[in-house]
Structures are given as structure tokens and as C-alpha cells.
Amino acid sequence: MARRKIIAGNWKMNMTPSQALKLVEELKPLVVNDDVDVVYCVPAIDIVPVVEAVKGTNVAVGAENMYVEDSGAFTGEISAPMLVDAGVKYVIIGHSERRDYFNEDDAFLNKKVIKAIEAGLTPILCCGESLEQRELGVTMDWIRLQIKSDLANVSADDVKNIVIAYEPIWAIGTGKTATSDQAEEVCKGIRELIAEMYDQATADAVRIQYGGSMNAGNAAELLAKPNIDGGLIGGASLKADFGKVVNYNK
Ligand code: PGA
């Protein structure tokens, strides 16, 4: 069975609640495409108003982060059960900005993946190499290490339902997209790794996105590749262009 494409916006630290509502309204008629799943991953403070604003549409809401405990003395954190109760369906885990700026390591990210699944959220697990790693020729070694560590003790049935986002760090927010062949090569390598860690049925089911300067101009070519099942889109998710990415096949 063909995997359903999933196009997710990653708003990052953009959009106040009132700006968020305006953007949701602007995008409403533009992001309709029955062939794909559409997700807006939004800042925590925008979650409640955006969940309300997308009611009755094809859009699901995701969080950009979460903590590994359910509740307690963790000032400033937000738990998986809180997200679920607010109507959130997805959560980005292990974005390179969180790995780099907030020192999130793979052992911690593994706990997040397990907690998100337990709570009923779909993790969008990010991985990706730096420019230095690509130039050293260790891209796939690095990504294999990330995925193996982040998915430790996660069952095949659970992995079938997660989303993996391949995001080369050098392509994020730089306007420098990986070529469709470069992106396909790594996404294929990730699928082969999942087959190795689990089995072919699991590898065939898991959805793998590409992210890094994806936009209306390059989405169709990237999404035509057999192992690229969607996109995680930063900059281009904050404007009308996102509608064109969602409708890449029209
Ligand atoms: P970008 O960000 O599309 O702005 O490159 C992608 C991401 O970081 O998820």
C-alpha cells in the first residue's frame, strides 16, 4: 500500500497567538488536498487557539517540543498528556535546533519518543548531519547512530506509526536545499536501517519526510522520490506558499 504523504509546517518561534489565527485563516482555502495529511506544528502558546481555529478542516496540530514527565515540579515544561488534552496529534522530537541550542542528546530524545507514543502522540523524529559531517563522508553513520539511539526500546508496531524527518542541518533556513537525489539517498538509507532494526513491513510503513529549505518551487521534485513521504517545512510554512507545497501534485 502506498504511504500517504504528510506535509507539516514547523513554525518555530514565530507567530503570536493573534498572528497565528490570521495565518490559519489565510491558509484555510489553500491547504485543502485530500491526498495528503497536513499538520501545523506551532509554538506552545498558539496550540489552544490554533486547535480551535482548524476545527472542521483537514489540518491537524502538532507541538514543537514536550517534556518526558507527565506532571510535577518542572517549571516551564509542557507534558505529553497536556498536549493530548489540548487536541494535539503530533510532536516534533529532536529538531537540530533543540539538539544544538538546548543540548538535547539521544538518550533524552529516546525518552521523549517513548513518552509521546505512550500518550498517543505521533512523534516527528528529526535527524540530520552537519555540513562538516557530510564533507567527511559520515552522513549515514551519523544518522544511523541518531535513529538507533532515539528508537531504542520502541516496538515495530509503534515505529510503523511514527514519522521520521531527515533534515540536513546545512539546508535548514539557508535556502540551500539538498538535491532531490541527495535527499532520496538518505531517506532510502533510513528506510533500509528500519528494515534492518525491525523488518521490511515496518520499513515500508514508516513515513520519512525531507526538511530543509523545502518550498513551492522544489517540493514536487523532492516529493516525487520513492522514499520521500512528505516534508517538514519551516520558512515556507509561514506564508501562502505553504498551500502550494501541500498541493504539490495538482
Ligand atoms: P526551513 O526549516 O524549511 O526553514 O529550512 C525546516 C526545519 O527546520 O524544519
Residue 177: pLDDT band by 50, 70, 90 thresholds?
A: confident
Q: What's the length of the chain?
A: 250
- With both helix axes pointing from N to C terminus, report the angle between 139-150 and 180-197 in degrees, rounded to the nearest 10: 40
Our answer on whether the CB atom of 230 is closer than 6 Å to any ligand 1 atom is no
> What's the pLDDT score for residue 174?
87
Which ligand 1 atom is the nearest neighbour of the CA of 165? 9
Residue-level pLDDT at 40: 98
Q: Whose CA is nearest to atom 2 of ligand 1?
A: 234
Which atom of ligand 1 lies at the shortest distance from residue 211's CA? 6
How many CB atoms are located within 10 Å of the residue 150 CB? 26
Atom of ligand 1 nearest to the CA of 175: 5
Residues 24-82 pLDDT 10s: 999 999 999 999 999 999 999 999 999 999 999 999 999 999 999 999 999 999 999 99
Give CA–CA dist 71/142, Å, rounded.
33
Share above pLDDT 90 across residues of the chain, in percent, rounded to a whole number:
97
Residue 177 CB less than 6 A away from ligand 1: no
Cα(116)–Cα(108) distance, integer angstroms:
12
Write out the catalytic residue numbers. 95, 167
**Using an 8 Å Cβ cutoff, are 125 and 233 in contact?**
no
Q: Note the pLDDT tens digit of each residue in 181-192.
A: 999 999 999 999
CB contact burial 24-45 (16+ within 10 A = b; e otherwise): beebbebbebeebbbbbbbbbe
Distance of alpha carbon 77 from alpha carbon 61, whole angstroms:
19
Ligand 1 geometric centre to CA of 63 (Å): 15
The dihedral region occupied by 27, where left means phi > 0, alpha psi between -120 and 50, and beta the remainder, is alpha
Q: What is the pLDDT of residue 1?
A: 64
> What does pTM read for this prediction?
0.97
* Cα 45 to ligand 1 centroid, rounded to whole Å: 20
Scored b (16 or more CB within 10 A) or e, 5-20 reads bbbbbbbbebbeeeeb
